[in-house]
Amino acid sequence: MPTTPAMRFLDPKILRSIAHIELRARLLVEGMYASRHRSPYYGFSVEFVDHREYSPGDEPRTIDWKMLARTERYFVKRFEMESNMNVVCLLDTSRSMGYAPSREGRLSKLEYGSYLAASVCFLVQRQQDSPGLVTFGEAIRDFVPPKQGLRHLYTILARLEAIQAQGQTDLPEVLEAIGQRLTRRGIVLLLSDCYGEPARVVEGLRHLVAKGQEVILLHVMDHDEVTFPFKALTTFRDMESGVSLMSDPLRQRPLYLNRLDRFRTSIASGTVACGADYRFLDTIEPIELVLRDYLLYRRERTR
């Protein structure tokens, strides 16, 4: 594996774990190139759909001669066209995603999400589909439209290498803007800590689903956020608003964990209710196992 900086987020261990798995669309997708996904359009392939009456200019090879013998009328066969698939990774690059754990060797949420985005884009490119990348905070920062080819993949990897956690998050506004910019149906993979009001986050997801996109939310949180391991009197600072609060973690831990559970439940139930996929990810979980298990789950579900 090349060791150039732009390839940093392509971990061989992760790529080996997904080497024999494909990312398939659950819904119909639209595209211009032959691939392996169902399309709402018709063309020439191996899967028969139905008949329609012959019109001047139709290919003679599509005529169903058995139907002609039975009905004395000309019908042509229609087949389902296969299509390439767009997969756009939406990566939250707000300041809250840059939380740096005190323990060395742990990834920030932004790094964790970048490894996931790079691996998914590599997988999508390998199966001859079209990966894309959007980074955002309060608004869209980078928009790399989906496209096929190794050169395009390197462009995405270079963008991932250059990003830094900065600014605040306005997830609902960003999702609405993305829904307007993505004109073709495909898969939208959102990698975010979902900072903000759960109801507004879910509303943004619902907007994307209503646009015909197949939405997957990978809800990434740091292990410190999940377990709240702090013990000494500590000053906590909101990384996006800058507001600080001194607190006794031992007294506040039960209240914090209860509120976190309600927050996660609201996001999860709202996401599923609007027709999107949801996965909660703790940054202590090995990325190769997380990604492999989710892809296997999708493969089994779409059979």
Is 32 among the domain residues?
Answer: no
Q: Structurally, how many domains does the chain consist of?
A: 2
Same domain, 169 and 64: no
Question: Is the four-CA dihedral 120, 124, 125, 130 of positive or negative sign?
Answer: negative
Q: What is the pTM of this model?
A: 0.81
For residue 5, the model assigns a pLDDT of 62
Is 167 among the domain residues?
Answer: yes
Which pairs count as long-range contacts for 257-260, CB under 8 Å and 24+ apart, including other chains? 257/228, 260/225, 260/226, 260/228
Domain with 152 in it: what CATH number?
3.40.50.410
Is 31 among the domain residues?
Answer: no
Same domain, 229 and 273: yes
User: What residues have CB less than 8 Å from 280, skipping those under 6 apart?
Assistant: 219, 221, 264, 268
For residue 64, the model assigns a pLDDT of 83
Residue 231, burial from CB neighbour count under 10 angstroms (0-12, 13-18, 19+):
exposed
Same domain, 185 and 289: yes
For residue 265, the model assigns a pLDDT of 97
Same domain, 76 and 182: no
CA distances from 193 to 33, 70, 76, 230 (A): 35, 62, 52, 20
Same domain, 260 and 151: yes
Same domain, 71 and 142: no
Rg (CA), the chain: 23
For residue 269, the model assigns a pLDDT of 98
Spell out a b/e string for 25-48, using b for 16 or more CB atoms within 10 Å of the CB, else e.
Answer: beeebbbeeebebbbeeeeeeeee
Q: Give the Cα separation of 180 and 192 in Å (integer).
A: 20
For residue 79, the model assigns a pLDDT of 55
For residue 210, the model assigns a pLDDT of 93
Is 208 among the domain residues?
Answer: yes
In which domain, by residue range, is 12 found? 5-22+84-302
For residue 102, the model assigns a pLDDT of 73
Same domain, 162 and 42: no
Q: Measure the N-to-C terminal CA separation of the chain; round to a whole number of Å.
A: 33
Same domain, 210 and 248: yes
Is 199 among the domain residues?
Answer: yes
For residue 45, the model assigns a pLDDT of 43
Tens of pLDDT along the chain (303 residues) come to 445 666 889 999 999 999 888 887 664 444 434 445 444 444 444 445 566 777 776 777 778 888 788 888 888 776 544 457 899 999 999 999 999 887 777 899 999 999 999 999 999 999 888 999 999 999 999 999 999 889 999 999 999 999 999 999 999 999 999 999 998 889 999 999 999 999 999 999 999 999 999 999 999 999 999 999 999 998 999 999 889 999 999 999 999 999 999 999 999 999 999 999 999 999 999 999 999 999 999 888 866
For residue 250, the model assigns a pLDDT of 93
For residue 29, the model assigns a pLDDT of 42
3-state secondary structure the chain: CCCCHHHCCCCHHHHHHCCCCCCCCCCCCCCCCCCCEEEEEEEEEEEEEEEEECCCCCCHHHECHHHHHHHCCCEEEEEEEEECCEEEEEEECCHHHHCCCCCCCCCCHHHHHHHHHHHHHHHHHHCCCEEEEEEECCCEEEEECCCCCHHHHHHHHHHHHHCCCCCCCCHHHHHHHHHHHCCCCCEEEEEECCCCCHHHHHHHHHHHHHCCCEEEEEEEECHHHHHCCCCCCEEEECCCCCCEEEECHHHHHHHHHHHHHHHHHHHHHHHHHCCCEEEEEECCCCHHHHHHHHHHHHHHHHC
